[in-house]
């Protein structure tokens, strides 16, 4: 169905990683290089950080300090309480392409994905590692051979769910006490793995380009389909319970609001960075679910 939407923020470049935190919605705007936050209705907009090398994933340490993925220089930044930014971890030796989304657990351990290849210039598709950064800044490879590890969610039973955008699947991993991950298994599948490293071929085979996501209270997921202009409500196994259709591309979603039932959706005409850099057509939408 086509949902009734409210525009929360408008006139930005390309939003990603919506996070509800302490009564505000936080998002990264890729090409203005800013992290911004606002109240639920879009008022009281604040620039929370400026990240010259492009902000992406957001999360918080237990003491309330903000972690920000800096995509293009492969760093995880820490915003101190006074607003200054420091390098929490340098991941340049761990990744092969731009850093991307991130999920931080209650202990302050950050799980971070990366593209794996040069998406914007149609390089051959390659798999990528998932990295864990501990509160002390140490980095560890916790999973390998993932097809564009992107949005993530924690389940109530102690699993990490990882969207693989060009892999037609959501993968599940058991989380050990030390934050390490068990063997990968399918949580949901939408199609086959890519049959070719040719990017145009691989993208043509994608049934659901699972991008940013969030988990609901019943353990189902809301998943933005980066190629389908839709957000899917998905049960374990891959059954689509509902489909929200949009007039723009949608690339991430997160639940929040005063009662937790507002789905914030990051929308833009497409994900082509060459065009998004020169336009201000990015929006943050809100849907009641």
State what percent of residues in the chain have pLDDT above 90.
Answer: 91
Q: What's the whole-number mean pLDDT along residues 193-199? A: 92
68: tokens are 């920000």
At residue 201 the predicted structure's pLDDT band, cuts being 50, 70 and 90, is: very high
245 or 279, which is more confident: 245
96 or 257, which is more confident: 257
DSSP state of 120: G
**pLDDT given for residue 197 in this prediction:** 92
Q: What's the whole-number mean pLDDT along residues 94-103? A: 94
Q: Name the least confident of 15-19, 163-167, 202-206.
A: 202-206
Report whether pLDDT(270) > 90: no
**pLDDT given for residue 83 in this prediction:** 94
**pLDDT given for residue 271 in this prediction:** 84
Q: How far, in Å, CA of 282 to CA of 271, rounded? A: 10
Report whether pLDDT(176) > 90: yes
**pLDDT given for residue 287 in this prediction:** 98
Reported as a single tens digit per residue, the pLDDT across 115-171 is: 887 777 777 889 999 999 999 999 999 999 999 999 999 999 999 999 999 999 999
At residue 212 the predicted structure's pLDDT band, cuts being 50, 70 and 90, is: very high
Reported as a single tens digit per residue, the pLDDT across 218-245 is: 999 999 999 999 999 999 999 999 999 9
Q: How far, in Å, CA of 46 to CA of 41, rounded? A: 13
Q: Name the least confident of 95-104, 176-185, 206-215, 272-281.
A: 272-281
Q: How far, in Å, CA of 97 to CA of 166, rounded? A: 15
Helix (H, G, I), strand (E, B) or coil at 200: helix
Return all residues near 82 (Cβ < 8 A) that are at least 6 apart: none
Give the HSE-up count for residue 247: Cα atoms under 13 Å, Cβ half-sphere: 8
At residue 289 the predicted structure's pLDDT band, cuts being 50, 70 and 90, is: very high
CB-based burial of residue 92 (10 Å sphere; 0-12 exposed, 13-18 middle, 19+ buried)? Answer: exposed
For the chain, how many residues are written? 289
Report whether pLDDT(19) > 90: yes
Looking up tokens 């190629």 gives 227
Looking up tokens 């959706």 gives 265
pTM greater than the 0.75 cutoff = yes
> For all residues of the chain together, what is the average pLDDT?
96
């Amino acid at each position: 169905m086509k949902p009734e939407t409210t525009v929360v923020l408008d006139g930005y470049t390309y939003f990603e990683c919506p996070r509800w935190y302490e009564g505000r919605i936080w998002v990264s705007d890729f090409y203005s290089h800013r992290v911004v936050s606002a109240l639920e209705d879009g008022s009281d907009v604040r620039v929370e950080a400026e990240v010259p090398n492009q902000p992406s994933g957001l999360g918080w340490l237990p003491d309330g300090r903000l972690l920000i993925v800096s995509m293009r220089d492969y760093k995880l930044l820490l915003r101190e309480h006074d607003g200054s930014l420091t390098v929490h971890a340098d991941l340049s030796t761990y990744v092969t392409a731009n850093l991307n989304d991130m999920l931080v657990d209650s202990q302050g351990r950050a799980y971070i994905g990366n593209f794996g290849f040069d998406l914007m210039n149609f390089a051959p598709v390659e798999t990528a590692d998932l990295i864990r950064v501990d509160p002390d800044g140490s980095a560890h490879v916790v999973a390998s051979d993932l097809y564009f590890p992107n949005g993530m969610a924690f389940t109530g039973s102690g699993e990490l769910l990882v969207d693989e955008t060009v892999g037609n699947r959501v993968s599940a991993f058991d989380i050990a006490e030390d934050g390490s991950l068990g063997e990968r298994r399918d949580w949901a599948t939408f199609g086959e793995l890519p049959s070719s490293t040719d990017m145009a071929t691989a993208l043509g085979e994608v049934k659901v380009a699972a991008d940013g996501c969030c988990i609901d209270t019943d353990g189902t997921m809301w998943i933005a389909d980066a190629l389908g202009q839709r957000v899917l409500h998905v049960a374990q196994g891959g059954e689509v319970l509902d489909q929200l259709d949009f007039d723009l591309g949608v690339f991430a979603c997160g639940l929040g609001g005063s009662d937790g039932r507002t789905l914030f959706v990051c929308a833009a005409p497409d994900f082509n960075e060459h065009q998004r850099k020169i336009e201000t057509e990015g929006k943050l939408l809100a849907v009641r679910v």
